[in-house]
Amino acid sequence: MDYACMAFNQINEPGSYTWSTMIRGFSCSSNPLESLKFYSAMRAHGLIANSYTLCFALKVCARVSAISEAQELHTETIKAGLGWDVNVINTSFIKLW
């Protein structure tokens, strides 16, 4: 992930796909909490998460038992109208709750 971070930092305005890729990468790494930091940074840059990004972040919450973060993400998912998205329900909410 060090090389990925170096490449990411070279991009002037990373888009949602680039952010999601980093979030996914960290979600599978030995430091999964870093993906939640990237998710927060993505939101701070004004980008809106799609169902895939939310799935990655919710899986991390389940993996590390980050309940308060999971509740916030669950709320964001519903507000974004993705609460009934099959990807979110099947891969994230079931594992989380």
- Domain spans in the chain, listed from the N-terminal domain onward: 2-96
Burial label, 12 (beta-carbon count in 10 A; 0-12, 13-18, 19+): exposed
Q: How far apart are CA 31 and CA 61, in angstroms?
A: 12
Report residue 26: phi and psi, to 5°. -70, -30
pLDDT tens for 55-78 read: 889 889 988 988 899 888 888 888
**Which pLDDT score is estimated for 78?**
82
| Better-scored residue on pLDDT, 81 or 94 | 81
pTM greater than the 0.95 cutoff = no
Cβ-in-10-Å burial (0-12, 13-18, 19+) of 10 comes to exposed
Q: How confident is the model at residue 96 (pLDDT cuts 50, 70, 90)?
A: low
